[in-house]
Amino acid sequence: MKVDIEGRADRRFESVKQTFEGLWLDIEVGAALSVYWRGEPVVDLWGGFTDRELKQRWREDTLVNVYSVTKGLAAFTFALLVDDGDVSYEDKVADYWPEFTANGKGQVTIAQLLSHQAGLCGVDETLSVADLYDWPKMVRLLAKQKPYWTPGTASGYHAVTWGYLAGELVWRIKGKTLGQLFLERVAKPLSLEFYLGLPAEEHNRCATLIGPNHARGRVPTSGVKPSPSESPNKYFKASLLNPSISPFKDACSKEWRLAEIAASNGHGDARSIAKLYALMAAGGQLNGTRLISSETLALATAPEVEVEAQAENKLDLVTGTQIRRSPGFILSRGGNYGPGINSFGHAGAGGSMAFADPDSELSFCYVMNQMQPDGQIETRAARLINATYRCIEE
């Protein structure tokens, strides 16, 4: 499919624009890409369509649900509380949330909670999607839930529950929702278009998510390791299948967009997300605006979950993969965020990706509405990341 790509790319990054345009020869429908380098925007592109019918053009101000990319922005927002001295990552969760002590969770630290080590990847009660919009119910269930493993002994991706855990802590500490704190302390000072809880008047700007089963063309799967979703274990089922969330029916609904689930339903554009990560790549300050100290940012991105080569006991219990984690961010490993060993960020279901690389003074964000099918040998984000680093290494 041939589309018109809008925006700009500095001359040095012209090949990134060409790579971005080439995505529509594959499965792409609508997408945006933003890259900052040395504190300046060097790539700002968008193109394609916001709907499966290919009738509505993706515009400069289009917003899209970025799923778990949200976690990185939420983790940064939580770090502001640490920077303020309101809380420490080593504090016990129960110091602020007494009900959390139930079923042996009294010693869980905030760092363990935010790095997916608390054993709360799901709850035993069968949930509907509607339950996700009931904040009191979700935090009550999580507070009384018996951990799926002994906290601190392993990690397992808290795909959806992470948003309630981090969000309830913010509420207990500040008396504000995480979304309110993000708006006041991050979005407004940096003029970002990103929302945790999307106002109804902005819904008409949203791209429609397209499930992986509706992707165009055939996806090569030869030699690719099966996805955990093909033979889910109890942890995967708890984390990602209770409830099962449909990209179109659920994640494009008015209720989903209005809700504040800081794990999985942030809405924004690539430009805004890359701008925040540019600030993080520069140690907490961008163009004279400092939001966080470099010391606290270092704590927020310090390893809490490390991995060892060939160590099966270090596999994430939900995803079955090796993931390095800080309190909220995924850390660089195996080139997931370029070659930088100190890079950090977060990916989202279906293919969105954002990260900061302090060593290269670079930030990157790619967002889209066509979700990636399982088994894709090279992701669209990986192609764009590789093209970006070739440009700065020349």
pLDDT at residue number 25:
94
pLDDT at residue number 281:
98
- Cα distances (Å, whole numbers) of residue 25 to 32, 175, 217, 353, 387: 16, 48, 9, 20, 17
For residues 127-146, give the mean pLDDT. 98
Average pLDDT, the chain: 94
pLDDT beyond 70 at 326: yes
Q: What structural domains does the chain harbor?
A: 59-381 (3.40.710.10)
What pTM was estimated for this model as a whole?
A: 0.95
For residues 42-53, give the mean pLDDT. 98
| SS3 assignment for the chain | CCCCEEEEECHHHHHHHHHHHHHHHCCCCEEEEEEEECCEEEEEEEEEECCCCCCCECCCCCEEECCCHHHHHHHHHHHHHHHHCCCCCCCEHHHCCHHHHHHHCCCCEHHHHHCCCCCCCCCCCCCCHHHHHCHHHHHHHHHHCCCCCCCCCCCCCCCCHHHHHHHHHHHHHHCCCHHHHHHHHHHHHHCCCEECCCCHHHHHHECCCECHHHCCCCCCCCCCCCCHHHCCCHHHHHHHCCCCCCCCCCCCCHHHHHCCCCCCCCEECHHHHHHHHHHHHCCCEECCEECCCHHHHHHHCCCCECCCCCCHHHCCCCCCCCCCECCCCEECCCCECECCCCCEEEECCCCCEEEEECCCCEEEEEEECECCCCCCCCCHHHHHHHHHHHHHHC
Cα dihedral: 13, 14, 17, 18 (round 10): -130
pLDDT over 90 for what percent of the chain? 91
pLDDT over 70 for what percent of the chain? 94
pLDDT beyond 80 at 240: yes
pLDDT beyond 60 at 220: no
**Interior angle at CA 108, CA 260 and CA 346, nearest 5:** 45
Q: What band does 310 get if pLDDT is binned at 50, 70 and 90? A: very low
For residues 78-98, give the mean pLDDT. 98
